[in-house]
Amino acid sequence: MTRVATMASSVTLCAAIALAGCGGSSAPTKSQYVAKANTICASARKQTAPLIGQFRSAVGQLLGGGSKAPLVHVAAALTAASSAALTKLEALKQPSGDEAAIKRIIAPLHNVVGDLAKVGKAVASGDIAGALAIFGREQSAKAMVVSAADSYGVKSCATVLSGSAG
């Protein structure tokens, strides 16, 4: 064999071994997916629980005549943390045949993350009534996440939006 052909064969073999070592394109089992999703959501809960508490406190202060700045800041931090967790969940390979069940978890999470960003923008622009309306919509999206995650067995993802770290 020529040197180029040998090198090409070696590269191909290394790539095949690497893919085999990483699991290739095989789908995980439901229990593997649930374990990984629970790990992501448990980590997200540790990050978001204090932020949810701060968010609630900032809403109360704002309604009591306080500054809007804390709510804008907390909404941005909560949006960033939630978005990062959502990105990780979306990156997980899904078990074959479970795509619809997982979509029932992921789709309303997109709504929650989007609504959090909208709340911050509405408050920043002085539209407190609009922010409260958005926040009200978010509650139904949270309920959908909790129901779907609980049904699928992703218990950590069902509780990540609760606001308590325990």
Grade residue 135 by pLDDT with cuts at 50, 70 and 90. Answer: confident
pLDDT at residue 129, rounded to an integer: 86
Q: Higher model confidence: residue 16 or residue 37?
A: 37
DSSP codes joined into one string, 57-77:
HHHHHHHTT--SHHHHHHHHH
Instruction: State the angle between helix axes of 99-124 and 128-152 in degrees (0 to 180), rounded to the nearest 10.
Output: 160
Residue 84: how many CA atoms within 13 Å on its side-chain side? Answer: 11
Residues 6+ apart with CB under 8 A from 107: none
pLDDT at residue 161, rounded to an integer: 74
Mean pLDDT of 37-62: 91
pLDDT at 21 over 50: no
pLDDT tens readout for residues 70-127: 988 998 998 899 999 999 999 999 999 999 999 999 999 998 888 888 988 998 898 9
Mean pLDDT of 29-35: 96
pLDDT at 7 over 80: no
Task: Please report the domains of the chain, with CATH numbers, ordered by start residue.
Answer: 29-159 (1.20.120)
Tokens at 43, concatenated: 């980590």
Q: Taking the model in full, what pTM does it have?
A: 0.76
Give the C-alpha separation, 153 to 37, whole Å: 10
Tokens at 67, concatenated: 């500054």
Mean residue pLDDT of the chain comes to: 81
Grade residue 10 by pLDDT with cuts at 50, 70 and 90. Answer: very low
pLDDT at 164 over 60: no
